[in-house]
Each structure stands twice: as C-alpha cells, then as structure tokens.
Amino acid sequence: MHSTSSSIPTGSYTLPAEIQEFCDVAKRIVRDELMPLESQWLSSPNHAYGMRELPAIRAVFDQATAARLEKISRDTGLFYLMVPEEWGGLGLPMLAQAAILEQLYYSPIMLPIANVANILYECKGDQIERFLKPVIEGAKVTAFAQTEPDAGSDPGGMMQTRAVRKGNGWVVNGTKMWISNANECDFLMVQAVTDAEKRQRGGITMFLVDRKNPGLRVEVPGIRTWLSTEAKQHVVHFDDVFVPDEDVLGEVGKGFSLGQRWLTIHDRLLRGPYALGKMQRSLDMSVEWAKQRVTFGKPLAERQAIQWRLVDMHIDIQALRSMTYEMAARADTGEDVRAEAALVKLCSSEWGARCVDHAIQVHGAMGESLDLPLTLFYRVLRHTQIGGGASEIQRILIARKLLNG
Ligand SMILES: Cc1cc2nc3c(=O)[nH]c(=O)nc-3n(C[C@H](O)[C@H](O)[C@H](O)COP(=O)(O)OP(=O)(O)OC[C@H]3O[C@@H](n4cnc5c(N)ncnc54)[C@H](O)[C@@H]3O)c2cc1C
C-alpha cells in the first residue's frame, strides 16, 4: 500500500547534482529505514507534536534502533542539513533544504537531524558553548516561549510577561502557555517585555532560561490536544526568575524581531516541505488504494468521482511545490520574505489538510485506521492552520504587503 513514487522537483528549479544526490539519499532512507518502522511509531504514545527529532526517536524506539537511525543521519551528512557551514553544517541554501526536507517528511517518523532554531546563531561569547553547540549536536533541547494565556495572535500588543533590571541581570515574571517541549527541554527561549512603551518596536527581549532555574515552573500534566496522546504543550510560570545579562539572546529590545525571524523560517517557509511530503505520500497511497480497491465490480480508480479527488490533490501539490521553491529561492537571495513565507504557511496548512482529507475519503474506513499515517497527517496539518500564527494572521501579513508594498 505504501510507495515512494514522489518525484524530486525539477522544472525551473533544477537542483545542483549534489543536492539531487542528497534528495535521493533521503528518499532511500525513508523507504528502507523509516517506513518499515512506521507501525511501531504510529502505535507508540511516546512521540508527540512539537517534540524535537532526536528525543522523539529515542522515546519511541529501543536504544539500538534509535542509535542506528542517528548514525545513518550523521553518516550521510543529513544530520547537518539545516546547519550553516561555519557551525560545521552543510551550509545549504533554503531551496536545497526545502527539497531534502520534503523527502524526509514523506514519513511521519522524523529522522534525527540538527533542527536548530535559526535565532540561536545569534549566540555570543560563552553562549556558544552553553547553548548553541549542544543544541546542534542534539545534547540539549530548546523550547520557544512566546504565547501567553491572553496573547496568541497579538503577542507584541498583549504580552504580559515582564523582565525588570536587577543588578547584572533581569527578573522575569509572567505566564506562558501552549509551550511545546517545555517539560523536556533544557532551556527556553523566552520573550518578555523590557520596555512597556516600545513593546514590539524595541521593547521586547529574548532570554535564554534554564528549565531548572528556581522560580520557573512547568505545569504537569500538560494541555491535552488531538495531536498526541501525551500532553506536550504546557503552561509555564515565571516567578521572580533571575536571568543574568549574559543570557540575553541578541540585543536587549530586539527579541520580538528575533521571534519573528524564527517563525518566518521554521513555522512558515519550512511548513511548505513539511506539508508537501505528507501530501505526496497521501496521494501516492490514494493512487495505489484506488487501483486495488474494487466496488460494484470495478476498481475505485475507474470512477470519475475518485479520479477528481486524486487530481485535486495533485493540483494542490504541484501549486504548493512551485510556490514553496520560488519563495525559498527568493529567501536565498536575501529578500525579505515575511509575507511570502506567510503565503507558504497559509497554503501548506489549508491545502495540506484538504489534500489529506481527500486521501482519507478515498480510503473509506481504512482512511480512519490509526495504523496508516493519514489521520496523523491530517491532524498535524490542520493544526498548522493555528500554530505558528493562525491562517487569519497570515492573511493579515499578506494583505499588509499587498496594500502597503
Ligand atoms: C499544539 C500547539 C503547539 C504550540 N506550540 C507553541 C510553542 O511552542 N510556543 C509558543 O509560543 N506558542 C505555541 N503555540 C501557540 C500558538 O502559536 C497560538 O495558539 C496561535 O498563535 C494562536 O493564538 P491563540 O490560540 O491565542 O488564538 P487567538 O489569538 O485567540 O485567535 C483566535 C482566532 O481568532 C483569529 N484572529 C485573531 N485576531 C484576528 C484578527 N485581527 N482578524 C481576524 N481573525 C483574528 C485567529 O486567527 C484564530 O483563528 C502552540 C499551540 C498549539 C495548539
């Protein structure tokens, strides 16, 4: 039932030979190493949306399997595919990263790679040894703490968490909510208001806060969602949490734009390949299923109603792929792609969910089986219409550019 007939994007985005090779390697690993483990992954309660790749693999599989997957990732170089060259990575442009990630996202299993928040490359001085390098190597895990009980879509305007100067540092007070990974991470990248007048225009700062900092309390159990049986999103309380000056990430007052930089790339532009892998897999599964499933004396594939669903899925995939690779290529030129990344986020989450919805319908009852990846794909893609900035907020960003240039 499972096949890997997804094609590597070509057309106006011909990839250099070595990138094409990486795509082929990624595709082979998915088929030979990850897909045979999918039933174990899908039946495990131990992975959850928002978990980093390495902890998720270690949580689901035995030590030997997890170590083997990590070794494959490191030996092939894929482990460093998102890391800049100066930090020992492959230094790949966004377009190449997107093409390779699309192949990896064909499976619900996440090959362990160094998925480093791009803003951590702002680390300076001993932050590099304490935070950046351990995250690159998978020795430390991060969480991103922006959202609050009363500040989701409008964090700049509504954020209540405050940091007040004290001696050679800051005292943070407030509550964050919906923070993925908060109870597993080693440190959190926390936004707090440091100048209430300026707020998002120079009055929000990003702090690197150790999870074990006295005064920081993660509510357990976390918030249950439909994304996983384990509750991995948490409310986090900061009660007089002292953060020294050397743990400010970037400059004081520039924490909001840092957050936007992380969201633009990770939660928006890279949602393109995230969705594409799952959409292509859903289409490939649907084509195979439609050919073999017979009703009223004929395979489903011969019914126009079913063919049109397959075609609609194909259209969404082709359109999203073109858009994603164009925007990634534009990001590689240094262009400000905030609105373009919003467009990719909007389309990948909305088209992605409707594409998987078609696949579930084509599969009938089998589409609802938790032994297939389809319902998981649906849930995570539907989630991306909310997480990382809901669809309405992406539309606001796009409209702003349309109207104001
Ligand atoms: C599973 C999960 C994981 C998450 N992980 C993290 C994390 O790790 N770190 C973190 O900081 N946050 C995280 N979040 C929070 C997430 O980013 C926010 O939930 C999201 O930004 C939406 O905010 P909200 O829920 O407060 O919605 P609200 O702001 O209350 O908005 C509710 C609805 O109204 C719409 N809306 C709001 N304003 C407007 C407007 N002006 N015009 C039209 N419509 C509008 C919104 O689009 C949305 O549909 C996570 C959330 C979930 C569910």
Tens of pLDDT along 386-400?
Answer: 999 999 999 999 999
Record the pTM.
0.95
pLDDT exceeds 50 at position 241: yes
Nearest CA to ligand 1 atom 25: 152
The pLDDT of residue 1: 39
Residues 297 and 385 in one domain: yes
- Give tens-digit pLDDT for 106-149: 999 999 999 899 999 999 999 999 999 999 999 999 999 999 99
* CATH value at residue 400: 1.20.140.10
Confidence at 4, pLDDT banded by 50, 70, 90: very low
390 lines ligand 1 (CB under 6 A): yes
Structure-token pair, residue 8: 């590597």
Do 234 and 354 lie in one domain? The reply is: no
Whether residues 98 and 59 fall in one domain: yes
How many independent structural domains does the chain possess? 3
* Boundary (domain end) residue, out of 56, 89, 120: 120
Q: Is 150 in the pocket of ligand 1 (CB under 6 A)?
A: no
Q: Is the CB of 346 under 6 A from ligand 1?
A: no
Kindly tell me the burial class for residue 163, based on how many C-beta atoms sit within 10 Å of its own C-beta (0-12, 13-18, 19 or more). Answer: buried
Q: Pick from 85, 120, 155: which residue ends a domain?
A: 120
Ligand 1 centroid–CA 282 distance in Å is 27
Say what the pLDDT of residue 12 is. 53
- Supply the CATH number for residue 151's domain: 2.40.110.10
Are residues 46 and 62 in contact, defined by beta-carbon separation less than 8 angstroms?
A: no
Q: Are residues 114 and 176 in the same domain?
A: no
Shared domain for 161 and 229, answered yes or no, is yes
- Residues 193-202: tens digit of each pLDDT: 999 999 999 9
Question: To which H or E segment does residue 29 belong?
Answer: helix 17-29
Residue 15: the pLDDT is 82
What is the arithmetic mean of pLDDT over 298-316?
98
Indicate whether residue 367 lines ligand 1 (CB < 6 A). Answer: no
The parent domain of residue 176 ranges over 142-249
Q: Using the predicted structure, report yes or no on whether residue 168 has a pLDDT greater than 50.
A: yes
* Contact 259 CB / ligand 1 (< 6 Å): no
| pLDDT level of residue 45 (50, 70, 90 thresholds) | confident
What average pLDDT does range 250-257 have in this prediction? 98
Is the C-beta atom of 262 inside 6 A of ligand 1?
A: no
Averaged pLDDT for residues 152-168: 98
The residue whose CA has the least distance to atom 26 of ligand 1 is 152
Q: Is the pLDDT of residue 320 over 90?
A: yes
Structure confidence at residue 13 as a pLDDT band (50, 70, 90): low
What gap in Å lies between CA 319 and CA 310, rounded to an integer?
A: 14
**Domain ends where: 90, 120, 150?**
120
CA triplet 371, 374, 378: central angle to 5 degrees? 135
Distance 397 CA to ligand 1 centre (A): 15
In this predicted structure, what is the pLDDT of residue 229?
Answer: 82
Report the distance separating Cα 205 and Cα 192, nearest Å.
6
Residues 387 and 332 in one domain: yes
Nearest atom in ligand 1 to 223's CA = 1
Same domain, 390 and 300: yes
CB 46 within 8 A of CB 59: yes
- The residues pairing with 209 across neighbouring beta strands, listed in sequence order, are 188
CATH number of the domain that residue 77 is part of: 1.10.540
pLDDT score for 7: 43
Q: What are phi and psi of 117, to 5 degrees?
A: -60, 125
Q: How remote is the CA of residue 358 from the centroid of ligand 1, in Å?
A: 26
Mean pLDDT over residues 214-220, rounded? 97
For residue 232, the model assigns a pLDDT of: 87
Ligand 1 pocket check for 159: Cβ under 6 Å: no
Give the distance (Å) from ligand 1 centre to CA of residue 381: 15
78 & 177 share domain: no
Read off the pLDDT band of 307 (50, 70, 90). very high
Report percent pLDDT > 70 for the chain: 97
